Amino acid sequence: MRQNRSKYGGPDGNNNSPMDYAKIALIGAVFIIGLVVGTVISSTTSTNSASIDSSIEVDRQAPNPGLCQEFGSSAMVTNMRVFVTLRPFNVFVTQPSVEPGCVLRQSNMAVLQQKKLINSEEMNQCKRRMNTFGFTGPLEGKPEIDCIYKNDAAGNLFLKGEGIPAPGANSDIY
């Protein structure tokens, strides 16, 4: 009796040879290795010092990164000066410089007082105005500490794109 054989394999069209399983395993292994290598490459810090590609890099560059993440948020601090003339009216701006910094949550401002970096009068004055502190430079050295306030007037235009929800009640309060 003659069996109906398909050109694709055995009598019912299935070809379960060990060679086919090996090909599938090889393709799967290559795919997984590609994912792992891609993940490792994308998670490493950029070697280009002219750009910052993620918030992870900002966190790593912050002064006292552990303290900053525990009691506040890392930040990019922009320093610049503005000159305004009245006759004629003109505005001149210096070239901004950007450096890593840290913004403390208002509830954690006492950390600076405990480290004797601010006194109780400075803390009370900043707290009275519903502000908090931000600093640049390591706290063990000579950090530059400022009483800062959160400016909600401008809003974050990055978060107002079409299809992107605005931050809700879960966002951190400073």
Count the domains in the chain: 2
The three-class DSSP label of residue 33 is helix
* Residue found by looking up tokens 């063990």 in the block: 140
pTM over 0.85: no
The three-class DSSP label of residue 7 is coil
pLDDT at 94: 92
Per-residue model confidence as pLDDT tens digits over 56-86: 888 888 888 889 889 999 998 988 889 999 9
One domain for residues 38 and 114: no
One domain for residues 96 and 22: no
pLDDT at 174: 52
| Domain of 27, in residue numbers | 16-45
Residue 138 belongs to a domain: yes
Residue 10 belongs to a domain: no
pLDDT at 104: 93
- Diameter of the chain measured on Cα atoms: 109
Beta bridge partners of 167: none
DSSP H or E run through 18: helix 18-43
DSSP H or E run through 135: strand 132-136
Count Cβ atoms below 10 Å from residue 151 Cβ, excluding itself: 7
Per-residue model confidence as pLDDT tens digits over 15-50: 567 678 788 888 888 888 888 887 777 665 555 555
Per-residue model confidence as pLDDT tens digits over 88-120: 999 999 998 889 999 999 889 889 999 999 999
One domain for residues 98 and 28: no
Average pLDDT over residues 122-142: 90
Q: Report yes or no: 145 and 118 within 8 Å, Cβ to Cβ.
A: yes
The three-class DSSP label of residue 48 is coil
pLDDT at 64: 87
Residue 37 belongs to a domain: yes
Residue 136 belongs to a domain: yes
Rounded Cα distance between 147 and 149, Å, is 7
In 3D space, the residue among 112, 153, 154, 146 whose CA is nearest the CA of residue 129 turns out to be 146
DSSP H or E run through 99: strand 97-104
One domain for residues 29 and 96: no
pLDDT at 116: 92
One domain for residues 38 and 120: no
